[in-house]
Structure 1
Amino acid sequence: MKLLSSVLTILSIAVCAGPTVATAGSDFKKGVNISHWLAQHAPGHYATAERFEAEDAAWIADHGFDHVRIPVDGRILMSIEGKLITELLQPLDQALEWCRAHDLGVILDMHYLPGNEFLNDAADNALWSDPDLRAAAASLWTQVATHYRDVGPWLRYEILNEAVAPENEDLNILNQLIVDAIRTVDATRVLYVSSNRWGQFQTVPDLRLFDDPNVHYALHTYEPFLFTHQNTSWTPLKDIPAGAVTFPGGIEVASDSPLAAQMMKEHHTLAVTLERADVAAHYAPVAAWAREHGVNVVITEFGVYRAADPESTVNWIRANVELCEAAGFGWSVWDYQGGFAIRGPDGEPTAVYRGLFPER
């Protein structure tokens, strides 16, 4: 605890003493992701009302948030002829009206582009090797930016979610291509570009910076993954019992446990200790990078899966929020009513929410 407080103090002093950070868009401080609505939706459930409607925008605004991040599946937005299918944007158009009515900003997050996935075993990742797909991605963004050109600056774009490019420079090239394409029709809107390999902190030093105060940098963190994704069906952590990994704390398994082989493979030990200071150390290099370059950073995804125990969830969320605040980073938590929800099935705030807003 003392080490975390010390790191927070150091970060706060350094942010105050560092270069002046561009202010455009820096008011996006506290957001939430509207997951599995316009991207990653179940078959036949694209834009279904139960995922997001006017009441949800009102609830989010009333509970302390200033923006939402809406993931969109860009792979379905273009016709065979390469034209934007504007009918598929109608649910988003409606959402913009709801959000505007409640003074919520919006990040339109292109969760996928044609030829791009972010899973470890992605079957469709030709974007990085096919120039025609990259041209299609730029064309898609040009058309989307044209469609929303007259919307106010409270709408921002995150140009690609969690890229997994073969090389970090491949993503730099794509970022430049898409930023240039958008700038042909919209010169000043805030755009978010991300680092390679799921927007993780470790690849930030290789990010190519833009000489544009309205290009900001979007990163994701779920570290330690062992805690935030315990018992998730889509990861190797699916066999970890719910609540088995605590924070602060960790996990220790017996040598004859069914988890022993996985623990040795992933962590080379049967006992993993997790501390708040580990999270602080994870943030420190990125905070230093942002100060050095005078750039705006937003953590557009962080969260804890519902299997974690409530107290540990509050602890981890709170540590991340405090570190973001110390570094001057905005954030958008994952997610509204999915597996990492801030709002439970009963409509009430969850442990994730309590970690975000302990005073409410």
Structure 2
Amino acid sequence: MPRAGTNQFNQVPEQEWFEAAAAENIEWVRITFSKWNSKQKDFLAGDLDNYQQLVKKDLATLKKAIGWAEEQGLKVVIAPLGLPGSRWTQNNQGKKDQRLWNDKKWWQASARYWQDLARALKDSKAVVAYNIINEPKPEFGTGLAEHGDPARYKGWYEKYQGTSHDLPEFYNTVISAIRAVDAETPVMVDAGWYGQAQAFVYWPKLKDAKVLYSFHMYEPFNFTSRQNYLRKRKGKELYSYPGLIPYAGKVEQWDKKRLTEWFTPFNEWAEKNSIPANRIVAAEFGAYRRVPGGGRYMEDLLELFDQKQYHWAFYSFREDEWDGYDYEIGNRALGWKYWEAKEKGEDPEPPRDESNPLWQVLDQALETRTRT
């Protein structure tokens, strides 16, 4: 059955968050723990530059959060943002860390890390998948454009197949290590170029029988990102959806028809490789909450996902670090009192109003999914 979920990218895991998620008919949660505090350099891994073993205290914290989810009937997908040789950019002083894609020695370290993590979590009733790495980018720095004709991947893969940039083979390596200790839990694999659905088109079907193929959807990024909203400060008109929006070097009309066209190469790849809908996950999608047409954009995406019967998880639910994708707030400004409290070191709750059009789109979709 297609399942409706959300992303938990919070700095601090709290029991109340899981209670609130369950109350909103959310069925599963993609938990990333890379922002959580640790006495070590990197939460759970200790040091992604020199992985040795899981940090026991951090593992206990993770298991506690999984327990909170289980108490609320929520299923969990574990999704680290970084692996040995690939520290998340925001945890790396804004610098992209490409070691994992430049030297296969990091593949082995990542395989050991995941084997240890699978061994520790395999008996959890709440954990339904291991999402091996968030938004990999082995294409970065190789001359392959991030956006463009999907056919460009064919020549690229012919050149890089078998090298440290070979993402499908990397996944086969890690999955093999996981299966040595856990034969049952499904694995979730993100496509390249930050999880783009179109970046699957060159892939062979992976060897393992329990793979979920995952993509993230924020295209066209010129519309969905906060950078769009910041155009107001420069006196420029915001990009609206539906409307004319720059993408891959040209301005195009983006609407439901264009979204459908954008997904066509991916859907054709899935059909060609006999990958059923229940193995496909829209693991992240959304838009900065103050861009014009954000609700319509998400409504069109949700209709497309439901037509295909894909699992999905919106980004995000009540993130404690940033309000930009907290749809319960709607498109309103938070106001000076909220920011004044923040400056004083307080932790104020943002003024949420679930009657706003943005949240209503998601609320209706969550209710529809759970009823079926």
Q: Is TM more than 0.5 here?
A: yes
Aligned partner of 1:109 among 79, 87, 110:
79
Which residue does the alignment assign to 1:132?
Answer: 105
Q: What residue identity is the alignment partner of 1:60?
A: A
The total of aligned residue pairs comes to 303
Which residue does the alignment assign to 1:3?
Answer: none
| Alpha-carbon separation, structure 1, partners of 2:243 and 2:287 | 15
| Aligned pairs for 1:244-323 within 5 A | 244-250=238-244, 267-268=249-250, 272-292=252-272, 293-295=274-276, 296-309=279-292, 312-323=293-304
Q: What residue identity is the alignment partner of 1:151?
A: S
CA offsets per residue over residues 163-190 of structure 1, 9 Å max, x none?
Answer: 1103654111210111111101000101
The structural deviation recorded for 1:87 is: 1.3
Does the 8 Å contact 1:303/1:334 carry over to 2? yes
| Alpha-carbon separation, structure 2, partners of 1:330 and 1:242 | 37
Q: Does residue 137 of structure 2 align to residue 157 of structure 1?
A: no
| Alpha-carbon separation, structure 2, partners of 1:241 and 1:151 | 52
Which residue does the alignment assign to 1:96?
Answer: 66
SS state at 1:301 partner? strand
Does the 8 Å contact 2:51/2:84 carry over to 1? no
The structural deviation recorded for 1:54 is: 1.8
The structural deviation recorded for 1:97 is: 1.2
| Alpha-carbon separation, structure 1, partners of 2:29 and 2:6 | 5
Does the 8 Å contact 1:149/1:186 carry over to 2? yes
| Alpha-carbon separation, structure 2, partners of 1:102 and 1:297 | 25
The structural deviation recorded for 1:36 is: 3.8
TM-score (norm 2): 0.73
| Aligned pairs for 1:170-185 within 5 A | 170-185=166-181
Aligned partner of 1:54 among 9, 12, 15:
15
Q: Does residue 180 of structure 2 align to residue 212 of structure 1?
A: no
CA offsets per residue over residues 45-97 of structure 1, 9 Å max, x none?
Answer: xxx3xxx4222212111212100111233954334561111212333212111
Does the 8 Å contact 1:67/1:107 carry over to 2? yes
Q: What residue identity is the alignment partner of 2:282?
A: I
The structural deviation recorded for 1:316 is: 0.5
Q: In the superposition, relative to structure 1, how do residues 326 and 243 fare at CA in structure 2: closer, same or farther (>3 Å)?
A: farther
Q: Does residue 25 of structure 2 align to residue 64 of structure 1?
A: yes
Q: What residue identity is the alignment partner of 1:34?
A: Q
Q: In the superposition, relative to structure 1, how do residues 201 and 57 fare at CA in structure 2: closer, same or farther (>3 Å)?
A: same
TM-score (norm 1): 0.75
Q: In the superposition, relative to structure 1, how do residues 241 and 200 fare at CA in structure 2: closer, same or farther (>3 Å)?
A: farther
Moved more, 59-68 or 138-147: 59-68
Which residue does the alignment assign to 1:201?
Answer: 197
The structural deviation recorded for 1:154 is: 4.1
SS state at 1:92 partner? helix
The structural deviation recorded for 1:287 is: 2.6
SS state at 2:253 partner? strand
SS state at 1:250 partner? strand
* Unmatched runs of 5 consecutive residues or more in structure 2: 36-41, 140-155, 330-349, 368-372
Does the 8 Å contact 1:303/1:317 carry over to 2? yes
Which residue does the alignment assign to 2:328?
Answer: 343
Q: What residue identity is the alignment partner of 1:342?
A: Y
Q: In the superposition, relative to structure 1, how do residues 242 and 65 fare at CA in structure 2: closer, same or farther (>3 Å)?
A: farther
Q: In the superposition, relative to structure 1, how do residues 355 and 35 fare at CA in structure 2: closer, same or farther (>3 Å)?
A: same
| Alpha-carbon separation, structure 1, partners of 2:270 and 2:308 | 8
The structural deviation recorded for 1:195 is: 1.6
The structural deviation recorded for 1:354 is: 2.0
| Alpha-carbon separation, structure 2, partners of 1:174 and 1:304 | 30
Does the 8 Å contact 1:73/1:113 carry over to 2? no
| Alpha-carbon separation, structure 1, partners of 2:193 and 2:6 | 22
The structural deviation recorded for 1:305 is: 0.8
Query: After the TM superposition, which parts of structure 1 deviate over 4 Å for at least 4 consecutive aligned residues?
Result: 117-122, 236-243
Which residue does the alignment assign to 1:225?
Answer: 221
- Say which structure, 1 or 2, has more relative contact order (CA 8 Å, 6+ apart): 1
Q: In the superposition, relative to structure 1, how do residues 352 and 67 fare at CA in structure 2: closer, same or farther (>3 Å)?
A: farther
Does the 8 Å contact 1:72/1:112 carry over to 2? no
The structural deviation recorded for 1:249 is: 2.2
| CA root-mean-square deviation | 2.9
Q: In the superposition, relative to structure 1, how do residues 267 and 205 fare at CA in structure 2: closer, same or farther (>3 Å)?
A: closer
SS state at 1:289 partner? helix
Q: Does residue 14 of structure 2 align to residue 34 of structure 1?
A: no
Percent of aligned positions that are identical: 24
Which residue does the alignment assign to 1:40?
Answer: none
* Unmatched runs of 5 consecutive residues or more in structure 1: 1-25, 38-47, 252-262
SS state at 1:172 partner? helix
Q: In the superposition, relative to structure 1, how do residues 204 and 248 fare at CA in structure 2: closer, same or farther (>3 Å)?
A: same
SS state at 1:68 partner? strand
| Alpha-carbon separation, structure 1, partners of 2:85 and 2:190 | 18
